[in-house]
């Protein structure tokens, strides 16, 4: 990693969210369809030929439940626990070999969504580094653990732009919990008040960062109504200016 240049953001950490901020969520329908199909194949091989609707309902129910719990409380549901919960909803026994096998399609289905780089992402990160900021990726994970998230970062040539990465699956807690932002501050070697977090979610990214004692910038590409006192950007090429103004 090349040291950040001296500049107006020297001594600051810019923490950046991943999903919806740097990369798109991709084709979620394709992701869901592939996960369901692969689950059906695996279940059938283990002697559990279930109707597609039953498999789909279990997967979607658990995914919605874990996402809501994470957003509301900062809980980090382990991927193995997610699969176990899906099997329970299907009324199936918790067979360790079956769970191990299902973990592969569960954690890798996101690759079928083909998430794409949001325009301006790489240039914005480069500009922040040139301004002297240390960059920390601070990302929640659910079905996609840190190991798979890093594959996506590598695929989009983003890995080398970050000084450190903080994933909820490795911390054991998730945004909006203060511990996630504290981990980003620790990774960047600064106190929380020297962290500017940029993200697209008002609850997990913005409220979480502000309550932790950080500064925050909302990435709001669709220009949705947001609090008047909140600094927001509609394109990533505005990130440097927003960070500079927030730190002034």
Of the residues 87, 113, 139, which one is the last residue of a structural domain? 113
Return the axis-axis angle of helices 239-247 and 121-130, rounded to nearest 10°.
Answer: 40
Domain that holds residue 209: 13-24+117-247
pLDDT above 90 for 6: no
The pTM assigned to this predicted structure is: 0.94
pLDDT above 70 for 55: yes
Confidence at 248, pLDDT banded by 50, 70, 90: confident
Q: Which helix (H) or strand (E) holds 136?
A: strand 134-139
Closest CA to 184 of 162, 201, 158, 153: 162
pLDDT above 80 for 5: no
Task: Check residues 248 and 214 and name the one with the higher pLDDT.
Answer: 214
- Average predicted confidence (pLDDT) for the chain: 96
> What tens digit of pLDDT does each residue of 204-226 get?
999 999 999 999 999 999 999 98
The count of structural domains within the chain is 2
> What tens digit of pLDDT does each residue of 86-118 get?
999 999 999 999 999 999 999 999 999 999 999
Residues 131, 37 share a domain: no
Residues 105, 55 share a domain: yes
Of the residues 113, 145, 178, which one is the last residue of a structural domain? 113
pLDDT above 60 for 2: no
Of the residues 61, 82, 113, which one is the last residue of a structural domain? 113
Domain membership flag for residue 177:
yes
Q: What are phi and psi for residue 48, nearest 5 degrees?
A: -120, 80
Domain membership flag for residue 94:
yes
Query: Left if phi > 0, otherwise alpha if psi is -120 to 50, otherwise beta: which for 172?
Result: left
Domain membership flag for residue 194:
yes
Residues 40, 18 share a domain: no
Length of the chain (residues): 248
Residues 85, 193 share a domain: no
- 84-122 b/e with 16+ CB inside 10 Å = b? bbbbebbebeeeeebbebbbebbbbbbbbbebebbebbb
> What tokens does 145 get?
């653990």
Closest CA to 245 of 196, 211, 210, 204: 196
């Amino acid at each position: 990693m090349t040291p950040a240049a001296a500049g107006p953001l020297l001594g600051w950490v810019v923490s950046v969210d991943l999903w919806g901020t740097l990369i798109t969520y991709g084709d979620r329908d394709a992701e869901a369809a592939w996960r369901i199909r692969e689950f059906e194949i695996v279940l059938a091989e283990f002697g559990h030929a279930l109707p597609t609707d039953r498999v789909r309902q279990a997967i979607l129910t658990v995914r919605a439940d874990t996402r809501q719990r994470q957003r509301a409380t900062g809980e980090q549901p382990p991927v193995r626990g997610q699969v176990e919960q899906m099997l329970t909803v299907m009324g199936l026994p918790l067979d360790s070999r079956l769970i191990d096998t299902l973990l592969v399609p569960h954690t890798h289905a996101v690759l079928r969504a083909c998430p794409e780089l949001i325009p301006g992402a790489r240039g914005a990160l480069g500009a922040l580094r040139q301004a002297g900021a240390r960059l920390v990726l601070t990302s929640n994970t659910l079905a996609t653990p840190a190991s798979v998230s890093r594959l996506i970062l590598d695929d989009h040539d983003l890995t080398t732009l970050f000084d450190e990465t903080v994933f909820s699956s490795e911390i054991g807690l998730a945004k909006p919990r203060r511990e996630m932002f504290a981990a980003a501050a620790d990774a960047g070697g600064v106190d929380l008040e020297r962290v500017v977090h940029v993200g697209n979610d008002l609850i997990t990214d913005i409220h979480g960062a502000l309550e932790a004692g950080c500064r925050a910038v909302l990435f709001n590409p669709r220009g949705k109504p947001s609090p008047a006192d909140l600094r927001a950007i509609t394109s990533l090429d505005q990130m440097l200016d927003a960070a500079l103004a927030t730190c002034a």
